[in-house]
Amino acid sequence: MEKILITGACGQIGTDLTFELRERYGNDNVVATDIKEPESEMKESGPFEFLDVMDAEKMHSLVKKYNITQIYHLAALLSGTAEKMPLKAWDINMQSLMNVLELGRTEKLNRIFWPSSIAVFGPSTPKQNTPQTCVMDPNTVYGISKLAGERWVQYYYEKYGVDTRSIRYPGLISYKAEPGGGTTDYAVEIFYEAIRKGEYTCFLKEDAALPMQFMPDAIKATIDLMEADSASLSVRSSYNVAGISFKPEEMVAEIKKHMPDLKVDYEPDFRQDIAESWPGSIDDTVAREDWSLKNEYDLERMTKVMLEEIGKKLK
- Residue with CB nearest ligand VAH? 182
User: Considering the complex, what minimum distance in angstroms separates the CB of residue 170 from ligand VAH?
Assistant: 6
Interatomic CA distance for residues 100 and 114, integer angstroms = 9
State the angle between helix axes of 186-197 and 299-313 in degrees (0 to 180), rounded to the nearest 10.
50
User: Considering the complex, what minimum distance in angstroms separates the CB of residue 84 from ligand VAH?
Assistant: 12
b (16+ CB within 10 A) / e for 202-221: bbbbeebbbbbbbbbbbbeb
Among 183, 213, 237, 240, binds ligand VAH (CB under 6 A): 183
User: Considering the complex, what minimum distance in angstroms separates the CB of residue 78 from ligand VAH?
Assistant: 4
C-alpha distances in Å from residue 101, one per residue of 60, 143, 157, 314: 11, 19, 9, 40
Among 7, 184, 222, 237, binds ligand VAH (CB under 6 A): 184
* CA-angle at 242, arms to 32 and 277, nearest 5°: 95
User: Considering the complex, what minimum distance in angstroms separates the CB of residue 116 from ligand VAH?
Assistant: 8
Among 6, 53, 78, 226, binds ligand VAH (CB under 6 A): 78
Q: Does 222 bind ligand VAH (CB under 6 A)?
A: no
Any catalytic annotation for residue 142? Answer: yes
Nearer to ligand VAH among residue 46 and residue 170 (C-beta): 170
Among 68, 119, 255, 262, binds ligand VAH (CB under 6 A): 119
DSSP 282: B
User: Considering the complex, what minimum distance in angstroms separates the CB of residue 281 from ligand VAH?
Assistant: 13
Applying CB under 6 A, the site for ligand VAH has a residue count of: 13
Site stretch for ligand VAH (CB under 6 A), options 150-158, 176-184, 194-202, 225-233 = 176-184
Interatomic CA distance for residues 192 and 201, integer angstroms = 12
Among 47, 149, 182, 280, binds ligand VAH (CB under 6 A): 182
Q: Does 117 bind ligand VAH (CB under 6 A)?
A: yes
Q: Which of 180, 178, 194 is nearest to 255 (CA)?
A: 194
Residues 231-270 that bind ligand VAH (CB under 6 A): none
Task: Tell me the backbone φ, ψ of residue 79, rounded to 5 degrees.
Answer: -60, -50
What is the SS3 assignment for 140?
coil
Beta bridge partners of 266: 202
> Following DSSP, what letter does each residue of 168-236 receive, concatenated?
EE-EEE-SSS---S-TTTHHHHHHHHHHHHSEEEESS-TT--EEEEEHHHHHHHHHHHHHS-GGG---S
Residues 140-169 that bind ligand VAH (CB under 6 A): 142, 169
User: Considering the complex, what minimum distance in angstroms separates the CB of residue 183 from ligand VAH?
Assistant: 4
Q: Given the residues 72, 142, 186, 266, select the one marked as catalytic.
A: 142
Q: Does 89 bind ligand VAH (CB under 6 A)?
A: no
Q: Does 171 bind ligand VAH (CB under 6 A)?
A: yes
What residues make contact with ligand VAH under the rule CB under 6 A?
Answer: 78-79, 117-119, 142, 169-172, 182-184
